[in-house]
Amino acid sequence: MKSGVFISLEGIEGAGKTTVLKSIQTELQVPDRQIIYTREPGGTPIAERIRTLLTAHENKNMLPMTELLMMYASRNEHIQTIIKPALERGDIVISDRFVDASYAYQGAGRHIPEPILETLDQWVIESCMPDLTICLTAPVELCLERVYSRGNQDRFDEESASFFVATQLGYQQRAKDDPTRIRLIDSSKNPEAVSANVMTCIHDMIKAKSKKR
């Protein structure tokens, strides 16, 4: 049924997502396919309003379960109104974060039991999973140096180093559990090499999916 290509980009704060995303936006061109760039939390007007609540510094006391449910509320809007229709049209969807972030941040970082996330997945995601997930990893100290040098931009930037260690471990566990979909890429190297590596993974996936069309 699905004929598009769904790619998500993940990694903790300071892992280098923004730089990689910029080079994808500059370099990726696929004949006869529209490319949709989107993000989570957010991606639709309602989901962007949920994002504002989630990331606001003044909401630093938000309960973990509230945070999780708002991530999934945003995701539901995003999937139903942007991602699914785009994939049905055959577009390429590139999302700056998707469900793996919930397992890393709310699961591993905030200790919400995975069965709760799996239940939400059944309701919200159904089968709408990425074909490819690029997860950037770098030593947490390096990531935090990058975050501090650009200044705390949202509520998540204020989290402790131990939170980000747990979050990155959460991503690494997800990658171990689903190595075919999730590609861990070392983003401590020079940005050109990292972007080249990411572009190869993306081109390979688009080629593989195009053959099946």
Residues found near ligand TMP in the complex (CB under 6 A):
13, 40-41, 55, 71, 97, 101-102, 105-106, 156
Cα 175 to Cα 11, 129, 134, 170, 180: the distances in Å are 12, 14, 10, 9, 8
Which of 81, 28, 32, 48 lies closest to 199 in space, CA to CA?
A: 28
Minimum distance of ligand TMP from residue 16's CB (angstroms): 11
CB nearer to ligand TMP: pick between 39 and 209 = 39
CB nearer to ligand TMP: pick between 30 and 73 = 73
Minimum distance of ligand TMP from residue 3's CB (angstroms): 25
Minimum distance of ligand TMP from residue 208's CB (angstroms): 26
CB nearer to ligand TMP: pick between 5 and 112 = 112
CB nearer to ligand TMP: pick between 47 and 206 = 47
Minimum distance of ligand TMP from residue 36's CB (angstroms): 17
Minimum distance of ligand TMP from residue 99's CB (angstroms): 7
CB nearer to ligand TMP: pick between 110 and 209 = 110
Minimum distance of ligand TMP from residue 151's CB (angstroms): 13
CB nearer to ligand TMP: pick between 4 and 41 = 41
